[in-house]
Structures are given as structure tokens and as C-alpha cells.
Amino acid sequence: MKQILWLLAAILITGCTKNSETFAQTMEQKMYITIGEETHTVTMEDNVGTRALIAALQTENIVYIAHDYGNFEKVGYIGQSFPTDNHQTTTSAGDLVLYGGDNICIFYGSNSWSYTRIGKLDGLSADEVRRFVKAGEGEVSITLSLQPIYTGIQELSPDENSEGTAYTITGQIAPKGYKGIVIKNGKKRINH
């Protein structure tokens, strides 16, 4: 009987440890927000909405159009619905929330409402948040991703093809004839 109790305790501890590890891995995962050519990270909250959002982003990036609302947020329909865990919340600049399950709001001001918290932009002042989201400037295209989105990539010209080793964006040496984004001599390029 004692052995059975020890076995059950071990199974229970192992199951809890795996769930804790899964939670830690999920919440250590940063989400990236790209507007125009600028990308910033978000520290994620832990709730049913963020876990579903991260699961969706593992399949593909979410791109949506957001507009100013109330002179305190950029809000947009994200094309799919996620479960909510709404609580009365007073937001501040840089907060991201899920509203109604299918809209994401990025706050550049403050508001008090019942939202599901997604997270907060890392390391930006209120003025930097306003500039990043183009507060008051109308609609913007926003991309949510689990990997940074690289911008400003130039074409690879033939004379640059002879020197140095080219690497893929995952850090591996690009094989001869590789098509796609490479980093060569410290510069991002596209091989056709």
C-alpha cells in the first residue's frame, strides 16, 4: 500500500512539474509587435486568452488594421476570437488587452474597463508608445508574431556574392543556391 501511495505521489508531482514547465515556457515566450519598420517586444500575462493567442501565433502571424479610439488606444479586429478572462482594469500606456475576444487594444493613454490583459510593451515610455503606435494618425497595420520581423532588407548584388559566408536567419550557413533571407558581411539581404 505504501508503494502505491509513493507511486501516485510521484505521478502527481511529475504531472504538476510538466504543467509548470509548460506554463513557464509559454510565459517566457515574448510576443513581437511590428508597426511599419519598427518592432517591440511584449511581456505576456498568464491567462486563457494569452495562451490561446500564443498557440495561434505558433501557426502564423496575426496581421490586422487598428484605428484610434477615444484618444487613448489603437484598437482593431484580429480576424479570430479567443477566450476571455475579463477583469476590471485601469490601463496605462503600453498595455495590451483583448476586448470582446476578437479585438486587440494597444493603449497610449489610460482607460478603465473590463478587459483580458495580454501584456505590456517592454521598456517604452508613454511618449515612445504614442510614437510607435502613431497615436492620432489614423489606421495602422499591426503584425503580432513570436519571432522578430526583419525589415529594410536589400537585394544581393552580384559583386557582394563572392566575399564572405552567407547565413540563414536561423544562423546556419546558407548552402550554395539558397533562396531567401541571408545575413552576409553583417547585412541582411534577399537571395533570388
Q: Does residue 19 lie within any of the structural domains?
A: no
Q: Is the pLDDT at 108 greater than 90, yes or no?
A: yes
More confident residue, 92 or 169: 92
More confident residue, 53 or 4: 53
Q: Does residue 4 lie within any of the structural domains?
A: no
Instruction: Identify the band that residue 77 occupies on the pLDDT scale cut at 50, 70 and 90.
Output: very high
Give the count of alpha carbons within 13 A of 96, CB side only: 27
CA distance 179 to 190: 7
Q: Does residue 92 lie within any of the structural domains?
A: yes
Q: Does residue 9 lie within any of the structural domains?
A: no
Q: Does residue 10 lie within any of the structural domains?
A: no
Cα separations in angstroms, 4 against 8, 12, 92, 139: 6, 12, 52, 62
41 and 123 belong to one structural domain: yes
Under 8 Å between Cβ of 69 and 140: no
79 and 159 belong to one structural domain: no
- Sign of the CA dihedral with 188 first, then 189, 190, and 192 last: negative
Q: Does residue 117 lie within any of the structural domains?
A: yes
- Contacts for 4 with CB less than 8 Å, ≥ 6 apart: none
Residue in 189, 119, 116 with CA at minimum distance from that of residue 157: 189
User: pLDDT at position 111, please?
Assistant: 96
Query: Residue 52: which domain range?
Result: 26-145
Q: Does residue 114 lie within any of the structural domains?
A: yes
60 and 41 belong to one structural domain: yes
How many distinct structural domains can be found in the chain?
2
The model's pLDDT over 134-183, given as tens digits with 9 standing for 90+, comes to: 999 999 999 999 988 765 554 444 444 456 788 777 777 888 888 888 88
Cα separations in angstroms, 141 against 76, 83, 165, 180: 9, 23, 35, 24
User: pLDDT at position 4, please?
Assistant: 54
The model's pLDDT over 9-60, given as tens digits with 9 standing for 90+, comes to: 555 555 544 444 444 444 467 899 999 999 999 999 999 999 999 999 999 9
User: pLDDT at position 10, please?
Assistant: 53
Model pTM score: 0.66
Q: Is the pLDDT at 125 greater than 50, yes or no?
A: yes
Under 8 Å between Cβ of 153 and 190: yes
* 12's grid cell: 502527481
Instruction: Identify the band that residue 3 occupies on the pLDDT scale cut at 50, 70 and 90.
Output: low
